[in-house]
Structure 1
Amino acid sequence: MQSMVAAGVVIPTALSWASEAMAATPNKGGKFIQGIAAGSTTDVLDPATYENNFIGSIGYLFGNTLTEVNNRNELVGELAESFESDDAQTWRFNIRQGVEFHNGKTLTTEDVIASINMHRGEDSTSAAKGIVAPIQDIQADGNTVVFTLDAPNADFPYMMSDYHLQILPVDSTGALDPQSGIGTGSYVIETYEPGVRAVGNKFANSWKEGAGHFDQVEILALVDPTARQNALLAGDVHAIDRVDPKTVALLGRAPNINIEEVTGTLHYVFPMRGDAAPFDNNDLRLALKYAIKRQELVDKILHGHGALGNDHPISTANRFHASDLPQREFDADKARHHYEKSGHSGPIQLSASDAAFAGAVDAAQLISASAAECGIDIEVVREPSDGYWSNVWNKKPWCASYWSGRPTEDWMFTSGYVQESEWNDTAFRDTPSADRFNEIVVQARSELDQDKRRGMYAEAQQLLADDSGSTVPMFANYIMGVSKEIAHDENIASNWTLDGTKAAERWWFA
């Protein structure tokens, strides 16, 4: 205040600036409680097994990875102080010095190599096995870990931020215990009840400055949306994820609650399999894409808590989102043109169940209604929720589904669209466009010039939108309910819910 006044800043302005600075300064202490819309009694602390946001949140409580996506959606070093490559095939990660595990052991390259190798090999059942599969060799070079890949991949440092790839301590024999719950994170696990709760206490020797502001954190599995919302309203928890879009307005009117909302990579889809009639005809696929009223779906299914999709899986949260790609909109004339050109007649079946996403059946009915305006007959088949993912998704020619998305374009394309992927639910393969798409994906991995990569990924998005069965009408927001007792930085990460699943590390009491 004195400095600003002395510099000629008027007192009201100086007061305002000083208040903003104080509000942005984290307070220390207190117990932060989260209610998470997931959890299973089969959840264990072994990072290789993580499959939901409850156990993932606990993993970030006690552990760190080599890199992380910060709250501005930028990739930064975590346990790796820096990383570099000249050719995108050999990567050098310089390991941070002076980092201590909860058991008192100092972090070394041996810990890093053993932790990554835990996910590799033919016998591995790790959920991250596919991520580490391109690694041909890992070696220590002083304080540096050198990864040699089977091919260039400019996004490899992003892969090392995957929540399964936490660095664990080896013992005197070089072995590690993946279920120990011992890591380098801001909190030490005190209590863990699978599928129920976990409690962590602030680690006194935490290496990470400006993080871990609470004295204690408790994470509760509150799968039922009503129970989760009521816990927040009653003040039993300070933050919840996956607020129901139908009730978010009501919850937001509560005097003690803030609604935090970001557009991430979560998207709701209706993939058409290109290897099954009638969806092996691209004119039919285009007819159906033009027959969808996307804004209506965002309004009525997401209740406005989302954004328009453009028939590819890359959202505005991704680095190389093709913002110049014209937004596809409902166009009855174009839909009729392509439908007539396809030569198809008769009803087209669309399988749906709310197992795919909340409101999936209603969304399918809306698509059927808008298609009828174009002279296209869509028959909505209500599928049972039980067995939907094993009997319908990736089996029926057209169905409702969803993707949580991935932080990078290559990660998303490799997971769901390249021809060798088992999750290629559009069967986008064996066509000139599919061949070109796969060629681009491989080339873009090894391209270090970011402008060139942007152009490559723009072409890849265009190919999916125009030539594949990719039908992505909407991206759903991450909607979080947060007590007004809680404060955080002005930026909230959009790679996962609850600030990249790191609210416990990044937030504080106001």
Structure 2
Amino acid sequence: MSKLIDDLTLGLRQGRIDRRTFMLSMMAAGASLAMATTFSGRAMADTVGSSPKRGGNFKLGIGHGSTTDSFDPGTYGDNYMQSVGHSVHGYLTEVTNTGELAGELAQSWESSPDAKVWTFQLRQGVEFHNGKSLEAADVVASLNHHRGPDSKSAANSLLAQIEDIRTDGKDKVIISLNGGNADFPYLVSDYHLPVMPSQDGKVNATDGIGCGAYIRDTFDPGVRTLVKRNPNYWKSGRGWFDSVEFLVIADVGARTNALSTGEIHAMNGCDLKTLHLLKRNQALEIASVKGGQHYSLPMNTTAAPFTDNNVRMALKHALDRKTLLQTILHGHGEVANDHPISSGYRFYNSELPQREYDPEKAKFYLKQAGLSSLKVDLSAADAAFAGAVDTAVLFKEHAAKAGIDINVVREPNDGYWKNVWMKKAWSMDYWGGKPTADWAFSLVYGKGAAWNETFWDNAQFNSLLLQARSELDEKKRRQMYGEMQGLLRDEGGAIIPLFANYVDGISRRIGHDQLGNNWDLDGLRAAERWWFA
């Protein structure tokens, strides 16, 4: 009953359900009319005075960040700079808090019949922080920053499909692709791809000048970023705070304490082990949002012993996912199947059998690899995700029954993304959900992708990736994406055990609408969308 009340109260406060639905749901669960009336009154009282208003310094504690952070959007690697980037920058398109695609700097767009040529009409009257007006040349230069053989941007592979970008006057951009892509407008909402002011066809990617709701003020990498409200922001219903402080607080205990004592107004990545204690604080709201976020244990498929798919399959069968769901996520998520497509995706393959914990089958695959036992290092740090170290320790216990000895190497949180991830042969990671299957596959599993953390190169997968992207027949696309999920499940280098809800703590002094589920912290747009109630 307690959880039901919390869920219904949050739904009523956020406007996802009305008072009548609240009352009927409470009474259907056994509450008396008086009890239902009391709780609905409290919930409605929480919304009084919560309409958006300007002012205040919003402090957000984030469990990521590094001393190597840069304003270059091509280097954004975690929620910290992704959130900072969304506060200062604007993008061609935006995934809304209800999951639809909307125009941001692009007022409209249209494609050729084969989806190979896309024309974006820009919004007029948008001004960068340096006073420059938004023009089509800025879009061209911003996208070209990530393109070409010399680019170090993580978005390089995402834009590899672009053959040409050109302007048609000051307010129109025409993008030609090497193949059809019906999902291309979604792609340009990626957090790596903000529009920056250009000069002579180039952008200064590290100066932090954008056309977003806030203007860069102070930047101390790995510690703190301060931004101040942009008085010329073109969105009238966004950018409510006078200023926003993004604080790197890697330790979840320190983050929780800061939220509980009022030093910060919101935090991401709540400690699920102690969430029940945090819920007792009536001054706080716990937001658990289901999305495509997933935890991953990527194996470098070019490094022994992970070159042998039998070893990879043995490890995939040696993990008890259902136990992890309850122990690590405390039910805030769902079991995954070694691919990144959750049940909420349009082309989710519901017919693919769910992998189960099976030590005997793990032993079978070891035998196929010519092994009777296996000892392997797994690098872990809670910088990867909250509970990563505990996950590794539990995996060690599960795998032991299959004759697999996992040596858990506890890595420091600071510098994890620079020194461990994609450097060590087996490590831990998390990914936010992407709006489309093509995006989820292209960013991490396609040949040549900058963030192909498993260094996987599967000819059939790569061929299907290109075919499905340009296929306009929905039935054929579904079949191809379904096959790709199976290839990742049975041949890929990533163990993906769980889809994890985004679980954030928010002061009840903060107002917000329905929270977006495409990324943590309201689709990374907490600074722009939230306000002091």
Q: TM range, normalised to the smaller chain? A: 0.7 to 0.9
CA distance in 2, matches of 1:163, 1:502: 11
Deviation at residue 176 of structure 1 after TM alignment: 4.4
Q: How does 1:466-505 map to 2 (within 5 A)?
A: 466-490=490-514, 492-505=515-528
**2:289 corresponds to 1:262:** yes
- Larger mean Cα displacement after TM superposition, 188-197 or 77-86: 188-197
Match for residue 458 of structure 1 among 482, 488, 508: 482
Question: Residue 441 of structure 2 corresponds to which residue in structure 1?
Answer: 413
CA distance in 1, matches of 2:123, 2:51: 25
| Letter aligned with residue 75 of structure 1 | L
CA distance in 2, matches of 1:392, 1:44: 19
Change (3 A) 1:60 1:24: farther
Change (3 A) 1:20 1:121: farther
Change (3 A) 1:437 1:22: same
CA distance in 1, matches of 2:420, 2:64: 23
Match for residue 246 of structure 2 among 208, 219, 230: 219
Question: Residue 75 of structure 1 corresponds to which residue in structure 2?
Answer: 101
CA distance in 2, matches of 1:505, 1:99: 16
Deviation at residue 161 of structure 1 after TM alignment: 1.3
Deviations along 1:393-420, one digit per CA (max 9) or x if unpaired, are 66877x3422414513223323333344
Deviations along 1:91-131, one digit per CA (max 9) or x if unpaired, are 11111122222333322212222222233334433343333
Q: How does 1:18-57 map to 2 (within 5 A)?
A: 26-31=51-56, 32-57=58-83
Deviation at residue 463 of structure 1 after TM alignment: 2.2
Change (3 A) 1:465 1:204: same
Match for residue 66 of structure 1 among 72, 89, 92: 92
Deviation at residue 360 of structure 1 after TM alignment: 4.4
> TM-score w.r.t. structure 1 length?
0.83
**2:408 corresponds to 1:379:** no
Q: What is the RMSD computed on CA atoms of the aligned residues?
A: 3.6
Deviation at residue 77 of structure 1 after TM alignment: 1.5
Deviation at residue 278 of structure 1 after TM alignment: 6.8
8 Å CA contact retained: 1:98, 1:107: yes
Deviation at residue 377 of structure 1 after TM alignment: 0.5
8 Å CA contact retained: 1:257, 1:483: yes
Q: How does 1:150-165 map to 2 (within 5 A)?
A: 150-165=178-193
Q: How does 1:235-250 map to 2 (within 5 A)?
A: 235-250=262-277
8 Å CA contact retained: 2:341, 2:485: yes
SS of structure 2 residue aligned to 1:328: coil
Deviation at residue 254 of structure 1 after TM alignment: 1.6
CA distance in 1, matches of 2:203, 2:273: 46
| Letter aligned with residue 444 of structure 1 | A
SS of structure 1 residue aligned to 2:326: helix
Match for residue 278 of structure 2 among 251, 254, 257: 251
Deviation at residue 479 of structure 1 after TM alignment: 1.9
Question: Residue 198 of structure 2 corresponds to which residue in structure 1?
Answer: 170
Change (3 A) 1:213 1:396: closer
SS of structure 1 residue aligned to 2:501: strand
8 Å CA contact retained: 1:351, 1:396: no
Question: Residue 323 of structure 2 corresponds to which residue in structure 1?
Answer: 296
| Letter aligned with residue 385 of structure 1 | E
SS of structure 1 residue aligned to 2:53: coil
Unpaired segments ≥5 residues, structure 1: 1-8
- Larger mean Cα displacement after TM superposition, 27-36 or 420-429: 420-429
Deviation at residue 288 of structure 1 after TM alignment: 4.5
Question: Residue 131 of structure 1 corresponds to which residue in structure 2?
Answer: 158
- Larger mean Cα displacement after TM superposition, 183-192 or 58-67: 183-192
CA distance in 2, matches of 1:205, 1:456: 46
Deviation at residue 324 of structure 1 after TM alignment: 4.0
**2:369 corresponds to 1:346:** no
8 Å CA contact retained: 2:396, 2:407: no
Change (3 A) 1:405 1:457: farther
8 Å CA contact retained: 2:157, 2:449: no
Deviation at residue 438 of structure 1 after TM alignment: 2.3
Unpaired segments ≥5 residues, structure 2: 1-19, 25-36
Question: Residue 99 of structure 1 corresponds to which residue in structure 2?
Answer: 126
8 Å CA contact retained: 2:379, 2:424: no
Question: Residue 177 of structure 2 corresponds to which residue in structure 1?
Answer: 149
Change (3 A) 1:416 1:198: closer
8 Å CA contact retained: 2:366, 2:373: no
SS of structure 2 residue aligned to 1:58: helix
8 Å CA contact retained: 1:352, 1:380: yes
CA distance in 2, matches of 1:276, 1:79: 43
SS of structure 1 residue aligned to 2:277: helix
8 Å CA contact retained: 2:219, 2:226: yes
> TM-score w.r.t. structure 2 length?
0.80
Deviation at residue 42 of structure 1 after TM alignment: 4.3
Question: Residue 5 of structure 1 corresponds to which residue in structure 2?
Answer: none
Match for residue 335 of structure 2 among 308, 312, 324: 308
8 Å CA contact retained: 1:320, 1:454: yes
CA distance in 2, matches of 1:467, 1:174: 43
Change (3 A) 1:20 1:291: same
Deviations along 1:277-324, one digit per CA (max 9) or x if unpaired, are 776666665554344321111222333333211121223454433344
Change (3 A) 1:166 1:278: closer
SS of structure 2 residue aligned to 1:60: helix
SS of structure 2 residue aligned to 1:121: coil
SS of structure 1 residue aligned to 2:316: helix
CA distance in 2, matches of 1:278, 1:22: 56
CA distance in 1, matches of 2:88, 2:97: 19
Question: Residue 440 of structure 1 corresponds to which residue in structure 2?
Answer: 464
